Amino acid sequence: MNTDHVAIVTGAGSGISRAAAIRLAQDGAPVALLDIAADAVAKTRAHIEEMGGTAIDIAVDITDHAAVTQAVTEVQHALGTPRVLLNGAGIIVRKDLLHTTPDDWDRVLRVNLTGSYNLLSVVVPLMAAAGGGSIIQIASTAAHLGGHGYPSYTASKGAILALTRQLAGELAKDHIRINSISPGAVRTGINRDSFADERVHTAMTSAIPLGRIGEPDDLAGVVAFLAGPDSRYVTGIDIPVDGGLISKINLGSDKAYNTFDQTGGR
């Protein structure tokens, strides 16, 4: 796989996916930007084109399998067969179990898990026919630690970890690698307001060994590594990109993290 292979990035209108799409374009990949937010994803495309990259934007609801199929067909016609897929679109509902409604649960699972399935089911056959590729899934430290107060999100991201491990074996015969990334506390649209709260910021930074909240650009390089040839012998793994958060919690130093949870952040 070469770095100029066509990449599809979902959720590319904002946050981690936006930063990753820009990095892939900087590395020479033509990038197809998918997002339900048409204006946001158009701005990402404009930014990539301003810096000399190649991109198209498609407004699509990834929970709609027919719409995903049509979007991928558009990608093929405009850019060629996708050889990189970043499943980055996701949502969160911050409600504990007894306050999570059936609609809440269904909505989170449809976007975070079924949305990934929809892309995989359409893109994998194309990658296989083209000789292989790389798939990157966005999980979460919540899948490792539990995210107190949002079981629907944690369940969806735990499923992403399991699905990634399952598919590593299934897809290897077609020279397709699949890995996941577990972001920790990263300043994106879904948590920027929370991190603006001094209590949240202090609790979270004190729980992170590197002592700061992450930025989307902190993950872009990891996406680029997994998408490119330097990771050609890497499949079926998860890479936490969390400033050391998981390691600290696993050592039992979780007082500050629990304080953060109680403030309703992340």
Q: Which are the catalytic amino acids? A: 153
- With tokens 């995989």, the residue in question is 120
Residue 10 falls in which region: left (phi positive, over 0), alpha (psi -120 to 50) or beta: beta
Beta strands, E only, 79-215: 82-87, 133-138, 176-183
Distances (CA, A) of 249 to 103, 146, 255: 32, 11, 9
Token pair of 153 as six digits: 């999100």
Phi, then psi, of 55 in degrees rounded to 5: -155, 155
Token pair of 100 as six digits: 């999570």
Beta bridge partners of 82: 6
d(CA 88, CA 10): 5
